[in-house]
Amino acid sequence: MAVSIRFEHITKCFGELKVVDDIDLTIEPGELFFLLGPSGCGKTTLLRCIAGFYEPESGRILIGDRDVTRLPPEERNTGMVFQSYALWPHMSVEENVAFGLELRKTPKAEIVERVKEALAAVKMTDRAHYKPNQLSGGQQQRVALARALVIRPQCLLLDEPLSNLDAKLRLEMRGEIRRICKQFGLTAVYVTHDQKEALSIADRIAVLEKGKIQQCGDPREIYKRPHNRFVAHFIGETNFIDGKVLKNDAHELVIETSAGVITSALLPHEPTEVGEVVSLSIRPEVIHLGHTTPPDERNVFDVEVHDTVYLGEMAQHEITVLPGGDGGASLKLNAFDMNPEIVARDDDVQRAKMWIRADDIVVLKH
């Protein structure tokens, strides 16, 4: 049965450095929950506090209704999957998977059945008698998953489990990890710095910086409606334009910027006043270029296209909103339909029209 995980004002320090700073968070039963952020933000420390490898200076950690804050790791019933796999090289696949059950004095017949079940779940039954050095990186990670699952943990903890795999294997294993977590009904906490990994398989994401949660929400909310500049910049790619609020009502904000007057239909996360300086976050893929018809007269600009890079699934344009020089704004634009009429290479510069939907422009406190 899936359980919740609760952090109640958790703080963890190493010497004078506060690595986790007053984290208050609930992970719901059965959630695949991601802790996402750059190196040093506190995400792995928080995971290790759940596992029992670190003890926080203050606060409580509850798994279900049980306070596990001061319990040793072996009494928490959590399964851990490490970045390095951590398999015993002298043991076979099935011996590695059985190891945790043997430590728990599980009856031998039950061990055999549970190891078979775990290996079947990760599609490694035919490799049961192989040694780790006979397996690929992806196969070793499947064995590490089976070893964590076989003890039937209340929750699964994953510490950057795919970072040692090549790009193709990472894509394959993302889906497998989600499938396995949902198949077993596990509450899973997954640490990564890879935004695409988090966006593609998470139920919810907490974005951390300097030991604090900057935003928590589902992947679409985090990407489409970032709460601040850090989240907008860290999650994916974006263009920032600073401006001053000219009009603020219940339906839209009108902002004066170096690109001209821009209207946003997304009300900001925090209240803003007329005359306040704000930042606009505009994702490259929401900018429309060329001959498509804009929905209305708002946010339509003349631009110069200075460079085009073909990336296979899309073309990325470097553009300047006219007038140029100090009066314009430079932006990146991703076009998923390559328009052969708008391709600027080398010293070529082309004129075009650009437009942005008002509900694709995010207003952030400066």
pLDDT tens readout for residues 267-284? 777 888 899 999 999 999
Tokens 């030991």, residue? 211
* Cα R_g (the chain), whole angstroms: 25
**Average pLDDT of the segment spanning 250-278:** 89
Sign, CA torsion 37/41/45/49 = negative
Instruction: Please write the tens of the pLDDT for every residue from 14-42.
Output: 999 999 999 999 999 999 999 999 999 99
Going by pLDDT thresholds of 50, 70 and 90, the confidence category of residue 340 is: low
Q: Which helix (H) or strand (E) holds 178?
A: helix 167-184
**Average pLDDT of the segment spanning 302-306:** 88
Q: Are 118 and 183 in contact (CB under 8 A)?
A: no
pLDDT at 344: 64
**Average pLDDT of the segment spanning 144-164:** 89
Q: Are 268 and 255 in contact (CB under 8 A)?
A: no
pLDDT at 210: 94
Give the architecture-level CATH label for domain 237-365: Beta Barrel (2.40)
- Please provide the distance, in angstroms rounded to a whole number, between the alpha carbons at the two ends of the chain: 45
pTM of the model: 0.89
Preceding peptide of 323 cis, ω within 30°:
yes
pLDDT at 327: 55
Highest mean pLDDT of the ranges 22-36, 135-149, 155-169: 22-36
**Average pLDDT of the segment spanning 312-333:** 78
Going by pLDDT thresholds of 50, 70 and 90, the confidence category of residue 115 is: very high
Q: Is the pLDDT of residue 5 over 80?
A: yes
Determine the topology of domain 5-230 in CATH: Rossmann fold (3.40.50)
**Average pLDDT of the segment spanning 127-132:** 92
Highest mean pLDDT of the ranges 155-164, 285-294, 332-341: 155-164
Sequence letter at residue 237: E
Mean pLDDT of the chain: 89
Q: Which long-range contacts (CB under 8 A, 24 or more apart) does 221-227 make?
A: 223/199, 224/362, 225/266, 225/269, 225/362, 226/281, 226/362, 226/364, 227/269, 227/364
Instruction: Please write the tens of the pLDDT for every residue from 49-101.
Output: 999 999 999 999 999 999 999 999 988 989 988 877 788 999 999 999 999 89
Every domain range in the chain assigned CATH 2.40.50.100: 237-365
Q: Is the pLDDT of residue 212 over 80?
A: yes
Find how far residue 149's CA is from the centre of its chain.
Answer: 23
Helix/strand/coil percentages in the chain, nearest 5: 30, 35, 35
Q: Are 94 and 113 in contact (CB under 8 A)?
A: no
Backbone angles phi, psi at 168, to 5 degrees: -65, -40
List the one residue out of 222, 201, 96, 212 whose CA is nearest residue 149.
Answer: 96
Query: DSSP assignment, residue 266?
Result: S
Query: Which residues, including other chains, have CB under 8 Å from residue 126's CB and lie 6 or more apart?
Result: none
**Average pLDDT of the segment spanning 119-144:** 90
Every domain range in the chain assigned CATH 3.40.50.300: 5-230
> pLDDT: is 355 or 349 the higher one?
355
DSSP string, 274-308: TT-EEEEEE-GGGEEESSSPPSSSTTEEEEEEEEE
Could you tell me what percent of the chain has a pLDDT over 70?
Answer: 95
List the one residue out of 42, 33, 37, 38 whose CA is nearest residue 6.
Answer: 33
CA distance 194 to 196: 6
pLDDT at 345: 66
Going by pLDDT thresholds of 50, 70 and 90, the confidence category of residue 325 is: very low
List the one residue out of 247, 338, 245, 239 whose CA is nearest residue 289.
Answer: 338
